[in-house]
Structure 1
Amino acid sequence: MTALHQQVEHYIDNTTQWFTDQQLDCTVENEQRHALCEPVQVKFSDGHFSAPRVDSRQTILVLDSGMELQSVLRYRSRIRATYRYDAQAQRFVEGDPSITISGIGKKLLSELDQFMFTAPEQTEPRPGFIPAAWLADLAKVYTSKVPGDAVDYESQIPHVSHGTMVLGYLAEHNPEAEFVLLDTAQFLPFALHKDLVCDKAANALLAKMQTAADSLTSDVIQQHGVEFINFSGGYTQGHVRNIFNKHCEGQLTEQEGKALLLAVKPIYDAMFAAPNTLGVQSGIRKIQGANEHSNALDALSYPHRATVYSYTSVEQDTPLDLTGQANWRSVFNDYAEQFEGHDFIDLFINFGIEGWLNPDVTNSTPKMQSDVFGMRYAHEWELHSSWAAPVATSYAVYLQSVQQQQDENWAFSPAFIKAQMVPSLCPAKPEDTDKIKAYVRQSEACRIQDPLKFRADELNRLKYLDF
């Protein structure tokens, strides 16, 4: 690791000098700009997956949108495939996303992705992961000289997105993971089949979703041997009603809306009932109208799904241990309002931040986040269940690695990993308050967790942040 860090430092110095020597400054007038300031289109198919950079036992399927910059350039060598939904064929097919970025951005982000270094005991270069935490100085130069790279030059859409927040966290905190990406912006079950929504034809929609689910299983999950799924999203009756109110006539009863929503269940079955895959999904609390009808898919119980939500101890470090068993009652009592409506949540994860109103207030191990380029690393400023899911997924990968260290013959078991994430060590006691008794599940799962306190992810376990 020391050799890698030293050679990255050397690369940063050389690249910074390159900006100076070549007078690379895309903020000057057009006639004075370097040719590399000109935008170029880069496609996913222009790059390639590099198996030596990854551990094939850490294959993560990410369902999200807006992941183009990171999949096409910054983490391209670790992306096995990208998928989109073909509504006509009712299948998930391989996609070829593209972006338009400056020639400088293309060169720089490709170099970061494909970095090679020479270890002391070896003569041949080997792949090296460069974490965002090492690149702050280079990021200052790049973003100040090429500020236009923050948006796609053709579409004018900012590169930062919901998907880059999720994929960026996963790619940074799981340096050896490989990824399969599914673009949810092109998989909109109710919008794509609004005629069936208007007809309230739940069975017909169910048949289409079953075909799509079969494709998800065979063409994506089984094809790539996916161990982990990160879904920082979900479908609710609100999605159904939005389409119905916009395109249809008449009224939609709650039962009709629920039936249409449950037509998507085969997709959830494919993700969360698969025998060899652990799914992590951002959860929703049972408050403000969320219930078993409006959120019928959230209310379902799946053996291999962990629904996740964030809570925060703000500037305080929690007294929890890694299992979540020690002192969980005191955390529950101190932050009780954050655990209200817990019915649909399997796992609460502490972010240790105050939030955007006071972003500088954190505890000693807050949730961290990289920027869209994977070149800066700072603490999170927003509490969001979407951002909690990749923390939980990263924790799951960490637990897998620890188990493999202890037993090299261990066969992947999603049930085992889930039981490690939320162990059944937190029963109610006779003297507990009614509120605590109502919170405790029959499984006695320790749902209040703080893996960030123990830096329980691969980025930390592999000691990338020790410099």
Structure 2
Amino acid sequence: MPPVPRWSWFSALLMGALCACGAPAPSGDTPALSARLQAAREAILADTCFRERPDGAGCEWGEFAYDPGAFTMRHDSGEAILVIDDFPSLPPRALRYQNRLRGYFRVDGQGRLAPVPFSWRLPATLLRTLQSFATPDFVPAEHLRTLAVPLRETYPVQAAQSAGHGSFVFSLLVETNPHQPLVLLDTLSFTAFAPEEFCDGSGTPESLERLRAKASVVAEELRGLMAAQGVRYVNLSSGVTLDSVRQDWSASCQGPLPGDGVLRGKLGAYAPIYAALFHTPGVFTAQSAIDAADPEDNPFDFASEAFPNRLRVGFFTVLESGLDAEGRGAHEGLGGWPGRANVDLYVNTGVLPQRPFEYNRTPLLQVDAFGMDLLPITRATTSWVAPLALSRFIHARSAHFAGQEMSDALIRQVLGRMLPPRCEDLPGGVCLYQDPLLHGQTEGVRLGYRPREYTAP
């Protein structure tokens, strides 16, 4: 019998993907998908070289360049999510969803947002497998979970490459919002795009004006990117404070640390960027809340009329919240972090914060390292719940205001739906404690891509 061509199994997978012309919400496994999974599983298990040689020496490797022109979604809402986070590279899990990536950007030394050229170099079988499920029709990760363990055991080094703050945030958004394109933007930091201006320790008005001028260029670029890429939602699981500016100076600059007055001037120079993020018409931003004590040292973390399109997100962690779909219930004892002065909305993770991280039937889920299964998170942080709040906003917008163009007025209406004034025991009567996962208030559930309750492998 002649040898099987090395790409034959991948061709079968790809043909199955291209011929999958299903409805918006797949009902589950089909004979065609089962055959594709079986072919992929056999190829993975046959890739013994990487099992025997974790460093991959002498094994078959492949390289695949990210191409934003390959963006293709059969069910595209036309309203993209901009994820601003730590993206020094594209993690392997992003290859599985590369057809949903409208772009990958970074700010250059002139303050311009430029596309980042990038190629994945991965074991060839892993690369082919991930590519084969990056199809116009969305394939939920839970339908692929038979591949999760074989992939993880065969390619542990590559699984570890999906670690990272930005990659984790990506993993919380991509499956929950299956009809939203994604735009990735690497960290917005003066140390990255304005190191000379930032490290000027003189503190003169002229030096701070140069820094603010660079920030103004970035802000205009951000607005242009949002318009060009159809961005209507922003996830910001980060921020800048006096402490972070102090740390950035110590890590990136020479000479003695300037006084707090100079550092506050550098912090304030970020203002044009945050105005673009929190007050661009028709664009909503979910921001991870922090435990901020002083508005002077944390100017972008307190409530402000200058930031009407921003929602600060905190969390609570209980197995049974008892809250109804509007957030009504017994709120005493739910706790929440950080304090209420820093939070507009608390959401429940459904996962206890101590080992063994017990979880309920509707926990906050992340996609695994290769996009082949969903798993409950472990330790809760506001970085991980900002994506949940954003997903709830998208759900409320899509479920109750479909067909209406995004605008500042619509953002107010959606927030009113998310935070109804029906809780007399809470400040202002606003139901700021919510358990959206308990009530299936995400697009992945509403559209039928996954059940409300989680079933472990």
User: What is the TM-score with the length of structure 1 in the denominator?
Assistant: 0.82
Compared CA separation, residues 132 and 243, structure 1 to 2 (3 A): same
Are 1:335 and 2:341 matched, yes or no?
no
Gaps spanning 5+ residues in structure 1: where?
Answer: 115-126, 152-157, 429-435
Do 1:425 and 1:445's aligned partners in 2 also have CA atoms closer than 8 Å? yes
The DSSP-based 3-state class of the residue aligned with 1:172 is coil
Tell me the number of residue pairs that the alignment of Structure 1 and Structure 2 aligns. 414
Aligned mates of 1:298, 1:452 — CA distance in 2: 26
Aligned mates of 2:228, 2:138 — CA distance in 1: 26
Compared CA separation, residues 24 and 277, structure 1 to 2 (3 A): same
Q: What corresponds to 1:178 in structure 2? A: 181
Q: What corresponds to 1:106 in structure 2? A: 127
The DSSP-based 3-state class of the residue aligned with 2:390 is helix
Do 1:262 and 1:297's aligned partners in 2 also have CA atoms closer than 8 Å? no
Q: What corresponds to 2:324 in structure 1? A: 321
Compared CA separation, residues 60 and 46, structure 1 to 2 (3 A): closer
AA aligned opposite 2:67: S
Deviation for aligned residue 1:221: 0.7
Are 1:382 and 2:410 matched, yes or no?
no
Aligned mates of 1:46, 1:269 — CA distance in 2: 28
Deviation for aligned residue 1:2: 5.3
Are 1:136 and 2:145 matched, yes or no?
yes
State which of 387, 392, 395 in structure 1 corresponds to 2:392: 395
Do 2:93 and 2:369's aligned partners in 1 also have CA atoms closer than 8 Å? no
Do 1:26 and 1:146's aligned partners in 2 also have CA atoms closer than 8 Å? no
Alignment of 1:22-421 (within 5 A): 23-27=46-50, 29=52, 37-45=59-67, 48-56=70-78, 58-66=79-87, 68-69=90-91, 73-87=95-109, 89-114=110-135, 127-151=136-160, 158-184=161-187, 187-190=188-191, 192-197=193-198, 198-200=201-203, 201-218=207-224, 220-246=225-251, 247-250=253-256, 252-286=258-292, 290-301=293-304, 302-313=307-318, 315=319, 317-324=320-327, 326-327=328-329, 330-331=330-331, 333-336=332-335, 338-339=336-337, 341-359=339-357, 361-404=358-401, 408=403, 413-421=410-418
Aligned mates of 1:164, 1:299 — CA distance in 2: 27
The DSSP-based 3-state class of the residue aligned with 2:308 is coil
Aligned mates of 2:259, 2:447 — CA distance in 1: 53
The DSSP-based 3-state class of the residue aligned with 2:370 is coil
Aligned mates of 1:113, 1:215 — CA distance in 2: 29
Report the identity percentage: 26
Aligned mates of 2:273, 2:362 — CA distance in 1: 36
Query: How big is each residue's C-alpha offset from its partner over 1:408-452, in whole Å with a ceiling of 9 and x where there is no partner?
Result: 456552222222222333355xxxxxxx6xxx25xx432211111
Alignment of 1:417-428 (within 5 A): 417-427=414-424
Q: What corresponds to 1:118 in structure 2? A: none
State which of 445, 454, 457 in structure 2 corresponds to 1:460: 445
Aligned mates of 1:26, 1:100 — CA distance in 2: 16
Aligned mates of 1:399, 1:93 — CA distance in 2: 33
Aligned mates of 2:375, 2:102 — CA distance in 1: 28
Deviation for aligned residue 1:159: 2.3
Deviation for aligned residue 1:13: 2.1
Do 2:302 and 2:342's aligned partners in 1 also have CA atoms closer than 8 Å? yes
Aligned mates of 1:45, 1:204 — CA distance in 2: 35
Compared CA separation, residues 454 and 46, structure 1 to 2 (3 A): closer
Q: What corresponds to 2:22 in structure 1? A: none
Do 1:194 and 1:244's aligned partners in 2 also have CA atoms closer than 8 Å? no
Compared CA separation, residues 130 and 340, structure 1 to 2 (3 A): closer
Do 2:93 and 2:370's aligned partners in 1 also have CA atoms closer than 8 Å? no
Q: What corresponds to 2:12 in structure 1? A: none
Deviation for aligned residue 1:358: 2.0
Aligned mates of 1:146, 1:244 — CA distance in 2: 38
User: What is the TM-score with the length of structure 2 in the denominator?
Assistant: 0.83
AA aligned opposite 1:135: L
Compared CA separation, residues 291 and 73, structure 1 to 2 (3 A): same
The DSSP-based 3-state class of the residue aligned with 2:185 is strand
AA aligned opposite 2:434: Q
Aligned mates of 2:344, 2:92 — CA distance in 1: 30
Deviation for aligned residue 1:60: 0.6
Higher percent of residues as helix: 1
Gaps spanning 5+ residues in structure 2: where?
Answer: 1-24
AA aligned opposite 1:305: R
Do 2:108 and 2:193's aligned partners in 1 also have CA atoms closer than 8 Å? no
* CA RMSD between the two structures: 2.5
Compared CA separation, residues 459 and 295, structure 1 to 2 (3 A): same
Aligned mates of 1:12, 1:272 — CA distance in 2: 43
Do 2:92 and 2:158's aligned partners in 1 also have CA atoms closer than 8 Å? no
Do 1:133 and 1:377's aligned partners in 2 also have CA atoms closer than 8 Å? yes
The DSSP-based 3-state class of the residue aligned with 2:301 is helix
Aligned mates of 2:340, 2:175 — CA distance in 1: 29
Are 1:11 and 2:41 matched, yes or no?
no
